[in-house]
Structure 1
Amino acid sequence: MISYNTKDWFTFIFHFHKSDTVRKLFPIMIAIGIYSALIGYLEVSYFKIGKNDYIHNIPIMHGMLGFVISLLLVFRTNTAYDRWWEGRKLWGGLVNNSRNLAIKLSAILKDENDRKFFRKFIPAYASILHKHLHDDDTGKQLFEDVDLEIDHHKHKPNQIKRIMYHKITDLYDAKKISGDQLIILNEELQAFTDICGACERIKNTPIPYSYSAFIKKFIFFYTMTLPFGYSVSLGYLVAPVVVFIFYVLASLELIAEEIEDPFGNDENDLPTKKIAENIKKHVEELI
């Protein structure tokens, strides 16, 4: 995740990082600029269309559709950000659960071997979950047209949870913890699986295809019709104007695509590896 100063306006305006939407959209922006300039030339210089022609009234359509596309993009970006923020809250919950479990075990356990066991496996769950969520196959498990040869009995986060739960049960059988303490520890361990399941729900359930495809088509055809209506009013300036409008609309869609999967490898995705390392450091301090 990119670290930045939210109050440094000039850095935002004049700095371009490798994931900036300008870099990604630059080739198609050039193509749209050439297309718009060509339409402007044909209307103004070749066909000599004036303000009394019906084609000059096309911006009326753009005005009505502009409101619709703005609503769609607002909903799209809000939905994507909700997924990103929910992922962050889930990993924040994993940090707290790991700390709480470590604090309780540090007070309950007296044997150093038992403490060493949990000092290793509590951080291991976060580390394994990070790798599990960054596995491409995890994000394809619900796709009907993809046949994955996955051994679900080797779901790695579940295996780590199983080992820890068996250890807790062995400690209870050995009378090292009481029944009340078993119940308290069970609540913390259960939260691990709840967090894993919620993260998998975000990972393997993308935005519906029809919705995402419709927005892209809408942006494309909306932008492609802009030169026809504005060439008479703007002349050759229609090219940079249309390019700028396309940049704004397409950038919003690109940003939504990037953050809707917070467990990917993009620069703005969640730093789950760093969070897992912090969990390891905190647990080792507590137990």
Structure 2
Amino acid sequence: MIVRPRPHWLRMLFVWRGSVLSDIAPQLLWTTAFAVLVTVLHGRLFQWKVPLNFVPFSLIGLTLAIFLGFRNSTSYSRYWEARTLWGTLLNETRTLVRQALTLADAPSEATTPAMRLIAFVHALRHQLRGTDPSADLARLLPGEDSARLRAARFKPAMLLLMVGEWLRDQRQQGRLDPTLAQGMEHPLGRLTEALGGCERIAGTPIPFTYSVIIHRTIYLYCVLLPFGLVDAIGPMTPVVVAFIAYTFFALEALGAEIEEPFGTQPNDLALDAMSHTIESTVREMLGEPQAVLSPMAGRAGYIQT
């Protein structure tokens, strides 16, 4: 995810990174080149004049814009829900660590659940992205915890179980009042809900038929558009086609990108920064040195939850 100050309006016109222009450049250039060819041939295809004007494109364009708006709204809803769930991770992790430090009779042992919670956040990030969490788990957990997780398929869920086991042990040893232990189960339960919500978003994409319908309609629209404009605007046809094609191609690409908010593309969620932000705030509560963040990673991590 790109997080930076909003550039000047003039620079905004030429910004490249994060604009999805690199993703749509080939089809945009091809569409523009085809519009130039249609303009040169004045709408003729093998000596046959294609009988089109701008009227059907006005009707189809309006419908296509509404359909694209629905698709992008659905994609953004998934994106924002994912961001809200990661805000929940930050809030409930802080709550659990604070309770472990202030409610238990042995606050020095709060390091164990705190490090397991940090490992949970990093393990969730790796699970959502399909990457290997071994390095982060080995860095954060003692050998016996790492060995226990090695064979686990759903490592974030196992880490929450281990935090719950710590609560059980503290209660059984008389270091935590049963009523207080029950209260600490509430933020732990909300972490479980956030985990399930992230897994649901990652495992349930928008139905494929939406993408197919929009993709086919956009390309047919942009290929036929120069035939409907060439008689009305002549040499300006490639310019108008390029502008309209850019709008439709970019909206389609953006919707596809934010539909899966846990990836590593420029407009996806800044999971690395948010994970390190949670680690930093927990370590600070424990009185340990904070994890080092780059300025932009820190900016991305401290988004309002």
5 Å-filtered alignment, 1:28-67, equals 28-43=27-42, 55-56=51-52, 58-67=53-62
Matched with 1:74 is 69
Q: Write the deviation string for residues 233-283 of structure 1: whole angstroms up to 9, x where unpaired.
A: 122321221122111101001011111111001011111121121112212
Q: Distance in 1 between matches of 2:30 and 2:267?
A: 28
When the two chains are superposed, the root-mean-square deviation of aligned CA atoms in Å is 2.3
In the alignment, does 2:247 pair up with 1:248? yes
SS at match of 1:43: coil
1:94 to 85, 89, 94: 89
SS at match of 1:20: coil
Q: Write the deviation string for residues 194-237 of structure 1: whole angstroms up to 9, x where unpaired.
A: 00100011111111101111000010111111111111112232
- Larger mean CA deviation between 263-272 and 5-14 belongs to 5-14
Length-normalised TM-score, structure 2: 0.82
Matched with 2:231 is 232
| Structure 2: gaps spanning 5 or more residues | 133-149, 287-305
Q: CA deviation at 1:136?
A: 7.0
Q: Distance in 2 between matches of 1:61 and 1:119?
A: 62
Q: Distance in 1 between matches of 2:180 and 2:95?
A: 13
Matched with 2:185 is 186
Matched with 1:208 is 207
Contact 1:44 1:235 in 2 (8 A): no
Matched with 1:199 is 198
Q: Distance in 1 between matches of 2:70 and 2:5?
A: 27
Matched with 1:275 is 274
| Structure 1: gaps spanning 5 or more residues | 138-150
Matched with 1:16 is 16
Length-normalised TM-score, structure 1: 0.86
In the alignment, does 2:106 pair up with 1:116? no
Q: What amino acid maps onto 1:173 in structure 2?
A: Q
5 Å-filtered alignment, 1:103-182, equals 103-111=98-106, 113-135=108-130, 154-182=153-181
Q: Which runs of 4+ in 1 moved over 6 A?
A: none
Cα distance change, pair 47–104 in 1 and its aligned pair in 2 (3 A): same
Q: What amino acid maps onto 1:259 in structure 2?
A: I
- Larger mean CA deviation between 271-280 and 259-268 belongs to 271-280
Cα distance change, pair 245–193 in 1 and its aligned pair in 2 (3 A): same
